[in-house]
Each structure stands twice: as structure tokens, then as C-alpha cells.
Amino acid sequence: MQRQHLRAISRAPGSGLLHRLPDAVVTFDREWRYVFMNRQAEINHRCRPGELLGRCVWDVFPEGRELETYRRFMRALDTQQEDVFDEYLPMFGRWYEQRLFPSPHGLTVVARDITDWLELREEHAQLASRLAALEAAAPASAVHETTRHAIVREPAVQPDEDDERPLRIIVTMFPKPGKRDEMIGRFRNGQALLDALQESGALSTELQVADDPNGPLVVTILWDSAAKYALWTSHPQRRSSLEEVAPLAEEVCIERYEVVRLVTTDRGR
């Protein structure tokens, strides 16, 4: 009877949405028995639907008692305080960001697999270390500017009034976990920045968002001339925008490309 009751809970109204989430969602009762698992949780556990319902998680994974996860779960249920933390779970072989939502009846855990993101961040850190070593060896070739939080990397540039060649600037921003949507929103609502860019000689500005929800944001700006972009690098609005992005980004990379030939088409003809 108990297993039938637990199966009924998993099929309750509203559970369909949870089954479509990319994050694993698991609910335990106060005896640490599985009460609900969405499909992603079942995939992570490599179990059939309903197979673990009614079983104690610490019996299924006794090694879990040695993890920080065990202490955090117990504390959340005891204090009824929400919590969030990252930990490598050896039973799954992956890193997870775990969000804990306690109630008087038990604990719900929303776990997001952040393994790929952590590996990517490590690659970025290694690349940043190598770039820093190159900058130290050849300081004239690049500028390393550190804001409050983010690392901003861009080639050195000097104003040149005689340089009238168009220039394309590509800004690649690597958001911190959970900050991607806020970064997109700031760009969409950043009318002051867009107005300042246009007044300074920017012909077009475009934000590109990767399909990967953990991927970078790319801003592409076409400048009327390299000389105007060189003046923009000291514009107060540029500095203000970088300071706004800094708390949201792990790293900001700025690249310059000379536009050898600019071709436009008029489709209305």
C-alpha cells in the first residue's frame, strides 16, 4: 500500500512540469525515504520509474553519510532553512549544485549538473594563467585590466585620427553560475549604453546567446572607424558598463578585427 501511495504522489497534478525539468528533483520524507523523483533524477540514479520510492536514501547510498551532502541535508531539515552548495557526488561521478527546500514533512532537493561548467571554468583559468604569463613577458603587446570581479582582456589600443578603417569588436562574456539571464537583461535594457555607442560612431550592436545555457554571451559591435573606437575606450559609459558586468562575469574577452571589406546589400531593390 505504501508504494502505491508514493506512486500516486509522483503522478499528482503539477508533477508533469517537474518531469520536464533538466534538473533532478527529489523529495524525501522525514525518514529520508524517496517520495518523488522526476525523470532526470531517475536518469541520474539509473533506476526505473518508481523503483526507489519508499526506500531510504542512506540505505541506497550508504557512502553518502560521509559527504557534506549528508550534513547539509540534516541541517536543512532540522533548521527548516533553505540552502545551496556544490559537491562532487562519487555515486554519480559528477559535480552538482544542490538547492535544498525543507518543509515540516521532509526535504526537496533540486540538483543541477555543473560538471561541464566547472571543467570549462578550469580551462578558462588555465588559459588566463597562460595569457598572464605572456603579458608579463611582453607587457607592451596587451593590457590586463582587473575590475572589481571579472577579468577583462583586450589588446592595447591608441587613438589614431588618421585611421578611418572600419573595425569590428567582439566581446565574449563568460557568466557566473546563475547570472546569465541577468546579463542578458542588462544588455536588453541598457539603452544608455546603446545610445552612447551610437553617438560615438558604432554602426551596429548585436548580442548573440549560445544555445548552451552555460555558454558565453557574445556582443558584436561594428565601428565606423578604428579611430572612433580608440576614443570610445576612454568613454565614461564604457567604464560604467564594465563595472556593471563585473559582478556577473567570470571573464570578459575583447577582440578587435579590422574590416578589410564592408559589403552591404539592399534587398528592397
Q: What is the pLDDT of residues 75-128, one digit of tens each?
A: 999 999 999 999 999 999 999 999 999 999 999 999 999 888 877 777 767 766
Q: Calculate the alpha carbon distances from 25 to 42, 85, 112, 183 in Å.
A: 9, 15, 9, 26
Mean pLDDT within 134-157: 49
Name the average pLDDT for the chain: 78
Single out the residue of 36, 42, 101, 41 nearest to residue 72, CA to CA.
101
pLDDT at 241 (0 to 100): 79
Rounded to whole angstroms, the Cα distance separating 169 from 146 reads: 19
pLDDT at residue number 159: 45
pTM above 0.95, yes or no: no
Q: In what order do the strands lie in the sheet with 34-37?
A: 34-37, 24-29, 106-113, 94-103, 83-89
Domains of the chain: 2-113 (3.30.450.20), 142-258 (3.30.70.100)
Residue of 264, 266, 169, 167 whose CA lies nearest to 224: 167
